């Protein structure tokens, strides 16, 4: 507690949020928790032997209680009572564009039906022109509520939306009326300016994939990115390269700082740091405060505050402080996968980066320092986030390790060039020859990444992983540090025992699951699918094989990873088949 007080208190705060999310204490119990927290807070001002000895525990309990209280009140929001599954005239404005699909453009925004105002997801036909932030829209719409999935193995989109205080989905197919807003607030002005830059990039003399890459890597907009490109980045383990994260913020800070020190006298050098920090916060505000962006900006700011105050910077203090700020503003961010991966990656870098650097040659120049640090930071982050990646996505590519070693060392140059291109295009200082050079470089990059993504024999999917296994493999990562620092009997035994415990837990989970047999009926679009599982094999019976690829993606693979199934097959339901008998039970197929 004396060494990392902020981190420990942040963990207690996070545990309080998890506790409230799982047990959902009612208001009267929350009042009791608030009284306990207030009592502990008051007791801090008294000096007794008992309080001195229990101060650490009391502080942990207090922050645990604060997590419970904040998460309770964060879930209390005004819900509109709207009739669903019917058409209504809806007036709305958008607040964010989401990833498009083949059929729809998706937006998040605020809708009004009668006197009711509520948050919603809007589905607009894909061929409709882009909506913007400076207009109100009106259309006859079909309103629905997100439906929770049939089974636990499926992604709970309804819960995901609920965590964003969204209870409705609105589908628009008819003509949309437009009315300009008389006054734009500050946020809408920023969003509109960002959208204007995105539109300018769309008109640049570059190939479509290069334009979408540029929008994603600098302006955090991947809404129109080609699905095959996203798939390549995922399979190559380089999707973090597209996400605006610590690397991007540090590089952009470096650009501003480099320019500042060229114009500010040496005696005012500290003001160059302050101005550069101000610029990255303006940049973060311009592109929208994502989890990784906000975390990176806070950590970098805290780091340089320590430097300016001539104190030793502490990575974990910066990490804990950024977690507090984000979660106090919105406790639901804790359940965002990006938030979790972002913070675990930083913990992994803290825990493993320096030990790994000891196995590389001495970094006696800038080039060596850049290459070696990039490699070890990437490897540390991958090892730390591996348990969560397997838990949420059930896939891993061994080629990602090699791909990161080759691609990431050049990431800073690509980010700098992309930032320069965005600035030039934004100020309409576009030059065709620069566009051509940038287009060529990005096309080569995308082809290299595509080559990595096509190495199928190193790509492993359908990897089962439950929460117990995640915890056990995290213990392995914890003991890995000691093994890297010093190879001796004690450290090797600790790591071996941790591995042994993980495999014992995994084998036990596999054995338990493979003893189960079940029949399930699944619904996909308008067709019925039923599955018969025996041991570690399952057969899916479908009425229409035309959607095989989507059925495999959304039904088969999630089911197999959840039930620890190694073998599956898909068969057509014979048209004459009306009923099925399995284990003395009759199932109606119509």
Q: Sign of dihedral through CA atoms 466, 467, 472, 475?
A: positive
Model confidence at 63, pLDDT cuts 50, 70, 90, reads very high
pLDDT at 582 over 70: no
In this structure, are residues 192 and 424 in contact, taking their beta carbons and an 8 Å threshold?
Answer: no
**Residues 517, 550, 456: CA angle, nearest 5 degrees:** 90
Could you give the CA distance from residue 132 to residue 241 in angstroms, rounded to a whole number? 28
Q: Concatenated DSSP letters for 86-103?
A: EEEEEEEEEEEE----SS
pLDDT tens per residue across span 506-551: 999 999 999 988 888 888 877 778 888 988 899 898 877 767 888 8
What is the 8-class DSSP label of residue 266? Answer: G
| Burial profile 24-55: b = 16 or more Cβ within 10 angstroms, e = fewer | ebeeeebeebeeebeebeeeeeeeeeeeeeee
Question: How many Cβ atoms sit within 10 Å of the Cβ of residue 172?
Answer: 21
**Residue 240's pLDDT is what?**
79
In this structure, are residues 332 and 163 in contact, taking their beta carbons and an 8 Å threshold?
Answer: yes
In this structure, are residues 460 and 232 in contact, taking their beta carbons and an 8 Å threshold?
Answer: no
pLDDT at 2 over 60: no
pLDDT at 1 over 60: no
Could you give the CA distance from residue 68 to residue 59 in angstroms, rounded to a whole number? 14
**Residue 496's pLDDT is what?**
95
Residue 88 — φ and ψ, nearest 5°?
A: -140, 155
Tokens 């969003």: give the residue: 191
In this structure, are residues 105 and 124 in contact, taking their beta carbons and an 8 Å threshold?
Answer: yes
Closest C-alpha to 255, from 416, 39, 406: 416
Could you give the CA distance from residue 583 to residue 18 in angstroms, rounded to a whole number? 40
**Residue 491's pLDDT is what?**
93
**Residues 141, 143, 147: CA angle, nearest 5 degrees:** 150
pLDDT tens per residue across span 282-306: 999 998 877 678 878 888 888 888 8
Residues for the chain: how many in total? Answer: 590
Closest C-alpha to 255, from 275, 269, 285: 275
pLDDT at 589 over 70: no
Q: Encoding tokens for residue 345? A: 């990656």
pLDDT tens per residue across span 198-207: 999 999 989 9
Question: How many Cβ atoms sit within 10 Å of the Cβ of residue 484?
Answer: 17
- Return the half-sphere exposure (C-beta side, CA atoms, 13 A cut-off) of residue 530: 16
pLDDT at 339 over 90: no
pLDDT, greater one: 97 or 369? 97
**Residue 82's pLDDT is what?**
87
pLDDT tens per residue across span 441-481: 999 999 999 999 988 878 888 899 999 999 999 999 999 99
pLDDT at 485 over 80: yes
Could you give the CA distance from residue 374 to residue 458 in angstroms, rounded to a whole number? 23
Q: Concatenated DSSP letters for 66-79?
A: HHHHHHHHHT--PP
Residue 175 — φ and ψ, nearest 5°?
A: -65, 140
The residues pairing with 93 across neighbouring beta strands, listed in sequence order, are 110
Average pLDDT for residues 564-578, to the nearest whole number? 82
**Residue 587's pLDDT is what?**
67
**Residue 509's pLDDT is what?**
94
Q: Sign of dihedral through CA atoms 190, 196, 199, 200?
A: negative
Could you give the CA distance from residue 412 to residue 283 in angstroms, rounded to a whole number? 17
Average pLDDT for residues 563-571, to the nearest whole number? 90
The residues pairing with 542 across neighbouring beta strands, listed in sequence order, are 529, 572
Q: Using DSSP, state whether 313 is helix, strand or coil.
A: coil
Q: Using DSSP, state whether 452 is helix, strand or coil.
A: helix
Could you give the CA distance from residue 254 to residue 273 in angstroms, rounded to a whole number? 10
What is the 8-class DSSP label of residue 205? Answer: S
**Residue 586's pLDDT is what?**
67
Taking CA atoms, 133 is separated from 113, 165, 173, 511, in Å, by 19, 20, 20, 54
**Residue 584's pLDDT is what?**
63
Please, where are the H alpha helices in 487-565?
489-514, 548-551, 557-563
Q: Using DSSP, state whether 398 is helix, strand or coil.
A: coil
pLDDT at 190 over 60: yes
Q: Encoding tokens for residue 529? A: 């699918």
pLDDT at 410 over 90: no
pLDDT tens per residue across span 20-34: 999 989 989 999 999
Closest C-alpha to 120, from 77, 167, 172, 171: 167
CB-based contacts of 233, cutoff 8 Å, min separation 6:
239, 241, 242, 449, 453
Average pLDDT for residues 81-92, to the nearest whole number? 90
pLDDT at 84 over 70: yes
Average pLDDT for residues 208-214, to the nearest whole number? 94
Run of H or E residues at 536: none
Residue 520 — φ and ψ, nearest 5°?
A: -130, 145
- Return the half-sphere exposure (C-beta side, CA atoms, 13 A cut-off) of residue 248: 25
Taking CA atoms, 210 is separated from 216, 224, 445, in Å, by 10, 12, 10
Tokens 């975390």: give the residue: 295
Average pLDDT for residues 236-260, to the nearest whole number? 84
């Amino acid at each position: 507690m004396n060494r990392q007080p902020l981190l420990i208190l942040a963990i207690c705060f996070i545990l309080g949020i998890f506790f409230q999310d799982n047990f959902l204490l009612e208001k009267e119990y929350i009042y009791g928790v608030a009284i306990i927290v207030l009592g502990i807070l008051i007791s801090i001002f008294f000096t007794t032997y008992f309080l001195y000895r229990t101060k650490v525990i009391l502080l942990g309990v207090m922050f645990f209680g604060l997590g419970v209280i904040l998460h309770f009140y964060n879930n209390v929001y005004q819900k509109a009572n709207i009739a669903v599954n019917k058409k209504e005239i809806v007036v709305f404005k958008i607040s964010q564009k989401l990833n498009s699909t083949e059929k729809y453009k998706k937006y998040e925004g605020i809708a009004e039906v009668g006197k009711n105002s509520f948050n919603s997801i809007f589905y607009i036909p894909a061929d409709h022109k882009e909506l913007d932030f400076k207009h109100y829209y009106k259309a006859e719409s079909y309103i629905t509520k997100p439906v929770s999935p049939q089974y636990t193995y499926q992604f709970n989109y309804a819960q995901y939306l609920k965590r964003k205080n969204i209870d409705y989905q609105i589908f628009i197919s008819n003509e949309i009326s437009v009315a300009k807003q008389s006054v734009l607030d500050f946020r809408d002005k920023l969003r509109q300016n960002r959208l204007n830059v995105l539109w300018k990039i769309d008109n640049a003399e570059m190939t479509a994939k290069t334009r979408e890459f540029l929008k994603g890597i600098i302006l955090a907009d991947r809404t129109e990115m080609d699905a095959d490109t996203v798939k390549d980045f995922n399979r190559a383990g380089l999707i973090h390269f597209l996400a605006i994260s610590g690397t991007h913020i540090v590089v952009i800070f470096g650009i501003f700082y480099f320019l500042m020190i060229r114009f500010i006298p040496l005696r005012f050098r500290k003001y160059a740091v302050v101005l550069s920090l101000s610029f990255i916060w303006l940049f973060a505000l311009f592109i929208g405060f994502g989890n990784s962006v906000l975390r990176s900006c806070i950590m970098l700011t805290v780091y340089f505050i320590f430097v300016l105050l001539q104190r030793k910077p502490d990575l974990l203090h910066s990490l804990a402080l950024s977690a507090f700020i984000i979660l106090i503003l919105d406790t639901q961010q804790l359940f965002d996968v990006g938030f979790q991966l972002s913070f675990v990656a930083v913990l992994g870098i803290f825990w493993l980066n320096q030990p790994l650097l000891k196995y590389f040659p001495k970094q006696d120049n800038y080039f060596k320092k850049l290459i070696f640090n990039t490699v070890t930071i990437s490897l540390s982050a991958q090892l730390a986030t591996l348990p969560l990646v397997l838990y949420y996505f059930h896939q891993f590519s061994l080629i990602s390790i090699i791909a990161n070693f080759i691609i990431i060392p050049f990431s800073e140059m690509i980010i700098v060039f992309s930032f320069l291109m965005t600035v030039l295009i934004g100020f309409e200082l576009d030059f065709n020859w620069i566009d051509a050079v940038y287009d060529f470089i990005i096309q080569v990059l995308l082809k290299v990444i595509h080559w990595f993504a096509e190495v199928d024999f190193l790509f492993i999917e359908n990897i089962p992983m439950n929460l117990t296994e995640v915890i056990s493999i995290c213990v392995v990562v914890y003991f890995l540090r000691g093994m890297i620092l010093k190879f001796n009997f004690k450290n090797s035994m600790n790591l071996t025992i941790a591995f042994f415990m993980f495999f014992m837990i995994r084998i036990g989970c596999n054995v338990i699951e493979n003893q189960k047999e079940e029949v399930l009926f699944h619904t996909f679009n308008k067709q019925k699918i039923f599955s018969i599982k025996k041991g570690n094999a399952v057969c899916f019976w479908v009425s229409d094989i035309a959607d095989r690829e989507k059925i495999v993606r959304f039904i088969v693979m999630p089911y197999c990873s959840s039930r620890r199934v190694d073998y599956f097959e898909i068969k057509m339901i014979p048209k004459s088949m009306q009923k099925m008998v399995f284990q003395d039970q009759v199932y109606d197929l119509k």
